[in-house]
């Protein structure tokens, strides 16, 4: 994404820089302000006329910001019950007029819902790759925007995030604990690293974490506006203490952040006293399907049903 920074680091560390390009042109045809990597940083040039723009498709000016996309999209909703519920519930938290960020995973489904909203231009949408607005793509093409309004370097984007420029960030979560901490970087014995998660989560005024309540083998069904738990997952994601703290609940309380943890069967919020259960899905037994599946006891004051609109769908098949 940031070719200049990568080339600079390699060159100044004694490495070799190879630039793959689609075509070569005389320097006299190039406009100086459009040159991102000065020639002295490049050791070799490899011309590939049919190089792809992404690993899934050839070049399209839409993804280079050279044309604009229709903001109202007809992309289908997720065919996974958990993702469907979480994305719909997350979308109800969208702050109109706010500056938003979307991360990879279930949180990206919230951006897909927003893309179908005829008022999507009322929200300023960003991703860490340096893209502003346009239609944020999901799945394997997450991190790309069709018809963005602006493209800045990822490094500059993180200056904006770290400086507190975000009103809301929608992020995935691997596991969360009684202190409101979240782990996304070290799960199941595998170290994946935090990526830009820490900078984004610490800088946003509101953080909405999106993820499954349980993992590994959970089977769910949606029927008549209710959630049915057909088989429990083998892994609890609500744990007493996260394995690795990628997001600190205590620090979030100090910063005065509003923090939500949205799953398909319950919604929690961070309070100065700890994590509070504020909503639960229609059709489930709160004690059997939520509390007994957690490794800590959340604060309970007066939890209410999650909005019915999150469960209205024609999806009736069982979802693994």
pLDDT of residue 71: 58
Structural Rg of the chain based on CA atoms: 22
Q: Residue 75 pLDDT more than 60? A: no
Residue 251 is given by DSSP the state: H
Q: Domain check: are 26 and 86 in the same one?
A: no
Q: Domain check: are 170 and 260 in the same one?
A: yes
Number of Cβ atoms within 10 Å of the Cβ of 54: 14
Q: Domain check: are 112 and 254 in the same one?
A: yes
211-224 pLDDT, tens per residue? 999 988 899 989 99
Q: Residue 72 pLDDT more than 80? A: no
Catalytic pick among 128, 175, 264, 279: 128
C-beta separation of 71 from 115 below 8 A: yes
99 Cβ partners below 8 Å, 6+ apart? 124, 126, 165, 166, 167, 168
The answer to whether residue 71 is domain-embedded is: no
Domain extent for 240: 81-311
The answer to whether residue 57 is domain-embedded is: no
Domain boundary among 11, 36, 51: 51
Q: Domain check: are 12 and 129 in the same one?
A: no
pLDDT of residue 318: 34
pLDDT of residue 34: 87
The answer to whether residue 157 is domain-embedded is: yes
Q: Domain check: are 31 and 95 in the same one?
A: no
Q: Residue 233 pLDDT more than 70? A: yes
The answer to whether residue 161 is domain-embedded is: yes
C-beta separation of 70 from 117 below 8 A: no
Whole-model pTM: value is 0.89
Q: Domain check: are 100 and 39 in the same one?
A: no
pLDDT of residue 316: 40
The answer to whether residue 123 is domain-embedded is: yes
Q: Domain check: are 123 and 46 in the same one?
A: no
Q: What is the CATH number of the domain that holds 102?
A: 3.40.1080.10
The answer to whether residue 317 is domain-embedded is: no
Percentage of residues in the chain having pLDDT higher than 90:
72
Task: Please state the rounded mean pLDDT for residues 106-116.
Answer: 90
123-137 pLDDT, tens per residue? 999 999 999 999 888
The mean pLDDT value of the chain amounts to: 91
C-beta separation of 313 from 84 below 8 A: yes
Instruction: Please give the backbone phi and psi of residue 285, each rounded to the nearest 5 degrees, phi first.
Output: -95, 115
Burial-class residue 285 by CB neighbours within 10 Å (0-12, 13-18, 19+): exposed
Beta-strand ranges (E) seen in 88-157 are 99-102, 124-127, 131-132, 135-136, 145-146, 150-151
pLDDT of residue 76: 61
Sign of the Cα pseudo-torsion (33, 158, 44, 24, in order): negative
Q: Domain check: are 35 and 118 in the same one?
A: no
Q: Indicate the number of domains in the chain.
A: 2
Q: Domain check: are 185 and 269 in the same one?
A: yes
The answer to whether residue 67 is domain-embedded is: no
The question of whether 128 is a catalytic residue gets the answer yes
Q: Domain check: are 11 and 101 in the same one?
A: no
pLDDT of residue 188: 84
**Higher pLDDT pick, 14 / 195:** 14
The answer to whether residue 247 is domain-embedded is: yes
Q: Domain check: are 90 and 207 in the same one?
A: yes
Q: Domain check: are 91 and 42 in the same one?
A: no
Task: Please state the rounded mean pLDDT for residues 27-42.
Answer: 93
Q: Residue 103 pLDDT more than 80? A: yes
Q: Residue 144 pLDDT more than 70? A: yes
């Amino acid at each position: 994404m940031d070719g200049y920074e990568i080339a600079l680091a390699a060159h100044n560390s004694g490495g070799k820089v190879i630039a793959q390009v689609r075509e070569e042109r005389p320097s006299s045809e190039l406009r100086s302000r459009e040159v991102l990597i000065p020639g002295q940083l490049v050791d070799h040039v490899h011309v590939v006329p049919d190089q792809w723009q992404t690993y899934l498709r050839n070049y399209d000016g839409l993804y280079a910001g050279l044309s604009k996309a229709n903001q109202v999209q007809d992309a289908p909703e997720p065919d996974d019950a958990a993702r469907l519920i979480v994305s719909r519930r997350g979308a109800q938290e969208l702050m109109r007029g706010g500056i938003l960020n979307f991360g990879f995973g279930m949180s990206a489904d919230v951006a897909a819902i927003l893309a179908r909203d005829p008022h999507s231009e009322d929200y300023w949408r960003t991703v860490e790759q340096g893209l502003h607005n346009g239609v944020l793509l999901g799945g394997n093409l997450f991190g790309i925007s069709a018809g963005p309004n602006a493209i800045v370097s990822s490094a500059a984007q993180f200056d904006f995030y770290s400086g507190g420029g975000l009103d809301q960030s929608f992020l995935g979560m691997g596991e969360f604990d009684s202190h409101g901490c979240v782990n996304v970087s070290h799960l199941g014995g595998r170290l994946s690293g935090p990526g830009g998660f820490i900078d984004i989560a610490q800088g946003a005024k509101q953080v909405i974490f999106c993820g499954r309540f349980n993992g590994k083998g959970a089977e769910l069904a949606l029927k008549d506006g209710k959630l049915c738990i057909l088989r429990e997952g083998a892994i609890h994601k609500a744990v007493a203490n996260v394995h690795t703290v990628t997001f600190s609940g205590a620090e979030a309380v100090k910063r005065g952040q509003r923090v939500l943890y949205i799953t398909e069967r319950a919604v929690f919020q961070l309070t100065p006293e700890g994590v509070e259960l504020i909503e639960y899905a229609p059709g489930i037994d709160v004690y059997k399907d939520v509390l007994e599946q957690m490794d800590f006891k959340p604060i309970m004051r007066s939890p209410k049903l999650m909005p019915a609109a999150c469960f209205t769908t024609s999806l009736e098949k069982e979802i693994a």
